[in-house]
Amino acid sequence: MLVQPTPQSVSDVVPPSSGATAAPDRPKLTMTTETRGHATILTMAGQLVSETAVTTEARILTTIVLAEQPLHLALDLSGVDTIDAHGANLLAKARFTVRAARGTLHLIVPQDAPARRMLSRHLLRCVVERAEDLPLADDGAEVENAA
């Protein structure tokens, strides 16, 4: 027997007016992707927290899927000023996903960056301080899996 779905009230959902902007206290994270040699660099700026983690995870996974093989991914966290538990878990998940794809992952986090103190000791193994420090050769040389 088929059951008729109950109609849902739309009156509870209020779409934002055309001139409305996002709440100023809502966390934001911007992301850009670039390629340098064989490396794909995803640069982030803002807050890597629970409110931004879902969108960030989708972007990281899309980058992993679309990147050239072999995968050499660097997440530039230089502009990230906050990482909560959700953000740290996302970085650990990204590390696992890149390793499963037989790729390398590096986190670009300068020594004085706010994000540096929020990384777990397991993630510190794949940290470099500058994009120029990435051990990814342009000549096709084999790269050690630092992820």
Record the pTM: 0.74
Give the residues across from 48 on adjacent strands.
83
Q: Taking Cα atoms as reference points, which of 101, 87, 99 lies closest to residue 125?
A: 99
Cα–Cα distance for residue pair 34/130, rounded to 1 Å: 15
What is the total count of domains within the chain? Answer: 1
Q: Give a yes or no: residue 15 inside a domain.
A: no
Q: Give a yes or no: residue 122 inside a domain.
A: yes
Q: Give a yes or no: residue 83 inside a domain.
A: yes
Instruction: Render pLDDT for 38-97 as a digit per residue (tens, 0 to 9).
Output: 899 999 999 999 999 999 999 999 999 988 889 999 999 999 999 999 999 999 999 999
- The boundaries of the domain holding residue 124 are 37-132
Instruction: Render pLDDT for 94-112 as a digit per residue (tens, 0 to 9).
Output: 999 999 999 999 999 999 9
Residue 37 backbone class (left: φ over 0; alpha: ψ -120 to 50; beta: rest)? left
**Quick one: pLDDT at residue 22?**
53
**How does 79-99 read in b/e, with b if 16+ C-beta sit within 10 Å?**
ebeebbebbbebbeebbebbe
Q: Give a yes or no: residue 121 inside a domain.
A: yes
Q: How many residues does the chain have?
A: 147
Q: Domain of 105: which CATH number?
A: 3.30.750.24
Cβ–Cβ < 8 Å for 102, 71: yes
Q: Give a yes or no: residue 89 inside a domain.
A: yes
Q: Give a yes or no: residue 22 inside a domain.
A: no
The order of strands in the sheet holding 39-48 is 29-36, 39-48, 72-83, 104-108, 127-128
Residue 18's identity, in one-letter code, is: S
Cα–Cα distance for residue pair 134/72, rounded to 1 Å: 10
Q: Give a yes or no: residue 63 inside a domain.
A: yes
In whole angstroms, how large is the CA radius of gyration of the chain? Answer: 19
